[in-house]
Amino acid sequence: MLKGRESLSLLVGKRRQYLPNRDSLLSSPLQAFPLSLSSSLNLCTDEDGRIVLAKSSEGSGMVVSGDNESKVEGFEEREEDFGESEEVTCPVCGSKVRGNNYIINSHLDMCLSRGTKRKLTQRTLLQMKFCSPSKVQICSSEKEQSENNSLLINRDERIVRNGVHVLHNFDGCEENSSTSTLSESLLNSKSVTNKDSLSKSSICDDNTDENIDMFSLSRKNETSDDDMAITPNDIAVAQYLSPLIEKYCLSFEGQVTSVLKDSLDVVPVKIFCQKAGSDENKENDNLELFGYLWRNAQQVTKSTKNGQTRMTKYQQNFSILIGEVLRSNLHLFIDGEQQFLESFNSISDDSQRLFVRLYTRKGPWFRISNIFYPEIVDPQKAMKELSATGYIYSFEDTNELHYEDTNDILNLLTVSELREIMSILKQRCNSGTRKQELIASLLSSCKDGFCPLLPSLILERTGACVRISSKAESLFWRAERLFFLNGEQDLSSFLLADLGIVKYPTYSCIISESIFSDRNDLLAYEEAIEVAQMIDQALDENDNELVLRYIKIAESRITSASEETTGTSASESSVTFRSCFSASWVYSKVLTLGVSFLERERRYNEAIYLLKRLLECFACGRRRGYWILRLSVDLEHVGCHDESLSVAESGLSDIWVRAGSRIALQKRVLRLGKPPRRWKIPSFANLAKRKINEVHVQGRPLNSVIGMKSRFYGEDGEQCGVEQLALQYYAGEGGGWEGVHTESGIWLTIFGLLMWDVMFSDVPNVFRTRFQTAPLDLETDSFYLARKSRIESHLQKIHDGMAEEIFITSWESHAGTACKGVNWKRHTLSELRTAVACIGGPSLALFCRHLAQDYRSWSSGMPDLLLWRFNGESRGEAKLVEVKGPRDRLSEQQRAWLLLLMDCGFNTEVCKVSPEPTS
C-alpha cells in the first residue's frame, strides 16, 4: 500500500454519496508541475550551509530547518465540577447501573431485548427495537396548552439527564436560584412568545384538574439523595430545559395529574414555566441560542401525542446528535441550514425513523417496494412527507433519470434482471458475466444517447426509487462530522455504548473554544475532505490521470498554509490538535500520498517538487522528518548527490525530525558524506554505529519462498513463525525466560493503564464528545506540556516503585473501558502485572515519559518479544527482543526504539533466525 493511503482512508471514513464541490474542482484550470530541478522552488544553501527554499517572487529564501528550540503553547487547566453520577438498580437484572451527564441510560432496554450474540454493524444495530420508556412534550402558549399533551416520567428510573434533576416534593415546589437573567428584550423577541406567556406558561396540559403531586425541575451538579426522587427519562427534556434553567433564569414546576395503578406505570404530569429571578450584573442576550432552545422545546410537544408509539433509540440518538451540534456550532450554519436541521424534530415519528434508516444504509438508491421496517407504521406516508420537506428525492418517471444516476440505479437490479434487459436490447451476454460487467456494458450503450429505452426498462423492474436528497446528505454528514470529529465513528457508536458493547471512559468536557473559528474554515475543511475521498476512489479505480489531477488540486490549495506561517518561527507555530481540522492539514496528507504515488511511477522530479512545497508550507510537524528523508532519497535518484547530502545534513538540525527518520538521515549522511564530499566525520557517527547485541537461532524451515512470511518447525514439531521459534529458544537454552509476542500492543496497554488518570484529567478543549478513547492532543507535543507537572509527579511515583500498585488499581477500576492503545483481551492481569514488576520503576518511568512527550513518533516499531524471569523469590528482570527472519532486517524505527530502550536501561537484543545448514 502507498505510504499515507491507510491514514487518508481513515480520515475520509465512510465515503459520501454526494460531493457538492466535485464538478467545480474538476472543471477548475490547473497548471502542470515544474519538471526540472531548476524550478522556482529549488533548493539552495545560505552562507552557513543551511538549506533554503528560494521563492520566485522575491529574492529572499526561507530556511527549511534550523537550530531554534521548540516550544509548544499548552493549555491552562481549569477545574469544573460536573458532579457525581448516581447508581440505580435495574428492575430486570438487579445490577447496578451508573448514569451521568451526556449518557443515555438504555440498560433496561438492553435487558429486555437481550438475545443471541452476533456481529453488530451499524445497520443491524439499528434493526433492534429499542424504545425510550417516556415521551416529553412542551408547549409555551395558551393555544398549545389545549393540545392535551403530557410529560410522562418513569417513577422508578432516577438517572439525571443532562443535569436536569426532578425532585419529588409533596409540600410544594423547590425553586432553583439561577445567577443568569432573562432580559426584557429577550422576553419580547420574536423568536419566543410574549412576556406573559413565558412568565407563567404551561409546558403540558392534561384534561384533569386533579393535582396529586408537586415537584420542580432544577439544574443540579449532582443527583439527589432523596429516595422519592423522580426524573424525566426522555433526553428531550434535559437537552433543552437544562440550559434554559441555567442561563436564562427560568424555573419549571410540575404536578402529577392522576393516580398510578401500577408502580411501573408512567406518570402523567403538568409542567409550568416561569421566571425564577434576575441578576442585573449579568447579561445573557444570546437571542439566537435562546430561540433555538425554546423552539425545540415546543417541537417536542408537537412530535408526541397521547397514545402514540414511543421514540426508537436510533431515532432518539439522531435527534440528540443534531441538537448537540446546533447548540455548540450555531455559528457554522446559515439560517436555512439551521432551520432544515431543526425541522427534523417537527416531522412525524415514522418519517424520522425512515430517514435515519435510509441515511445509515449504503445506498444511494433504494427500491420503494423493498422498504419495510416493523417499527414504521405507514412507510408510504412517511416517504411523501420526507419528499415534501426535501429530505429525500424520488425517481418515478423515466424523464427524472439522469445518466449520472444510471449506474447507481442499475446496481439495484439483480443479475437475472440485467440479463433480461440486455436480451431485450439484443446485446451479447455471456452466462458467466459478472454484475459489474453487465452494468458497464449497458452504460456504454447509453452513454452517447444510443439507448433511449434503457430508463423505461430499468423503471419497469425497479419500480419507484428514492434516495437521500443532496441537501440532507450534506447537512447531516456535516452534523455527524462535527459531533464525532472524525470519519471513523457514526450513529452506531451510540448503540454500541447503550448496549454496553463499548464502554467509554469518564472525563469532563471543558469546552471554551470552537474547533472551527468560522464557517469559511469549515467549508474549506469539507472541500479538502472531498479531495481526499476523490483521490482515494481514483486509486481504487487505478485512474492515474484523475489521481494526478487531485494531487495538483491539493498542491494549488495548500498555498494558504504558507501565508499563515510566513514570518512565524517554528517555536511559535507549533502543531496542536486543532491543526488536524484545517484544510491545509488534509491537503498535506493528500500530497504525502501523492509523493508515494509519483515515486511508484518513477516521476521523481514531480515528487521532489511536491516535497519542496510541503517543506515550504509547513514549518513544523512530525511529517517533516519523512518529507526531508524522501526528498534526500529522490534527489539521489535523479543524480543530485551533493544536494541530497545537503538536505540530509540540514534535516538533522530540524527539531521535528525524530525517531526513525533521524536514524535514517544519519545513515544517509554517513554514506553520502565520504571524501571528497565531506572530510570531517560527523559528531553522531559513533552513536549511529552503536552495536545492538545479537543472538542467532537456527531452525528447520518449512518454506523459503521470497515474499512469504518464513515458517519453521518448532521444538515440538508443530509449525510456527519466527517469533514463536524465538520464544521456544528463550524458554529453553536461551535462559528460562517466559514472555509474549506482542510488538507494540503490550507496551501501549501498559502505558495506557499506568497513565490513565493523566490521560483523562481535566484539560480544556481536549474532550469534546462522549465517545472519545483519548484526549485530542495525545499525539501532539501539547499533551505533555499541558500536563507537565502532573505527568512528572506521576512518573516519580512510578520511578519510586509504585508502578505495580498503580497498574492494578487502574485495571480494577477501568477493566473493559475503551482506551486508545489498551487491549483488554490479549493479555491477562497476571501477565501484565508480572511484566511491570520485572521491568522495574526507573525503566518504566523513562519509557512512559518518552511516549507522553511524543506518542505519535514512538507508538510503533517496538520490539517483538517481551520476556521476563525471576531470580530468587522476588527479584525479577525483563528483556526485549526484536526477531528477524532469514530475509528481514531492522527498520530505522525499530533500530531507534532499541537504542532508546538501551538508554532507558532495558536489556535488549536482536534474535536472528536462520535455517539449519543442510548436510
Question: 3-state class of 297 per DSSP?
Answer: helix
User: Which ranges of 732-873 does DSSP label H, i.e. alpha helix?
Assistant: 745-754, 756-759, 782-786, 788-797, 803-814, 829-839, 841-853, 855-858
The pLDDT score that the predictor gives to residue 33 is 64
539-544, long-range: CB < 8 A, 24+ apart: 539/2, 539/5, 539/597, 544/601
With contact defined as beta carbons under 8 Å apart, do 201 and 273 qualify?
yes
Please check whether residue 68 is in contact with residue 571, taking contact to mean a CB–CB distance below 8 angstroms: yes
> Alpha-carbon distance 762 to 771, whole Å?
16
Tell me what pLDDT residue 771 has: 94
Grid cell 520464544 is found at: 727
Q: What pLDDT does residue 606 have?
A: 94
All 3 cell numbers of residue 824? 483488554
Instruction: Find out whether 387 and 394 touch, Cβ atoms under 8 Å.
Output: yes
How many CB atoms lie under 10 A from the CB of residue 887? 12
Euclidean distance between CA atoms 219 and 238, whole angstroms = 9
The number of CA neighbours under 13 Å toward the Cβ of 294 is: 24
CB within 8 A of 918, min separation 6: which ones?
A: none
Cβ-contact 465, 383 below 8 angstroms? no
Asked if 393 contacts 355 with a C-beta cutoff of 8 angstroms, the reply is: no
Rounded Cα distance between 348 and 360, Å, is: 19
Sign of CA dihedral 815, 821, 823, 829: negative
Round to whole Å and give the CA distance between 891 and 886: 15
Q: Which helix (H) or strand (E) holds 266?
A: strand 266-275
What are the φ/ψ torsions at residue 216 (nearest 5 degrees)?
Answer: -135, 155
> Which grid coordinates belong to 745?
500492543
> 270: which strand partners?
255
Among residues 636, 851, 624, 618, which one has the least CA distance to residue 750? 851
Give the mean pLDDT of the chain.
Answer: 75
Residue 284: what residue type?
N
Round to whole Å and give the CA distance between 133 and 72: 49
Phi, psi of 372 (to 5 degrees): -150, 125
817 touches 505 (CB < 8 A): yes
| pLDDT < 50 positions in the chain | 35-85, 99-106, 108-109, 113, 115-211, 222-236, 262-266, 281-283, 303-309, 560-573
Determine if the pTM surpasses 0.75. Answer: no
Between CA 335 and CA 342 the distance in angstroms is 10
Residue carrying C-alpha cell 443568569: 180
Instruction: Report how far residue 357's alpha carbon sits from residue 852's, in angstroms, rounded to the nearest whole number.
Output: 42
Neighbours of 602 (CB within 10 A): 8
Alpha-carbon span 593 to 597, nearest angstrom:
6
Q: In whole angstroms, what is the distance from residue 486 CA to residue 488 CA?
A: 6
Q: CA nearest 98: which of 506, 494, 495, 509?
A: 506
CA 828 to chain centre: 28
Retrieve residue 157's grid coordinates: 428510573
> Rounded to whole angstroms, how far apart are CA atoms 231 and 300?
17
Q: Where are the alpha helices (DSSP H) in 685-802?
A: 685-688, 722-731, 745-754, 756-759, 782-786, 788-797
3 state SS of 468: strand
Q: Comparing C-alpha atoms, which of 845, 771, 758 is closest to residue 801?
A: 845
Return d(Cα 831, Cα 837) in angstroms, integer: 10
* All three cell numbers of 80: 469544573
φ, ψ of residue 843 to 5 degrees: the values are -65, -40
Q: What number of other Cβ atoms are within 10 A of residue 699's Cβ? A: 23
List, in order, residues 6 or more apart from 826 with CB less than 8 Å away.
742, 745, 746, 749
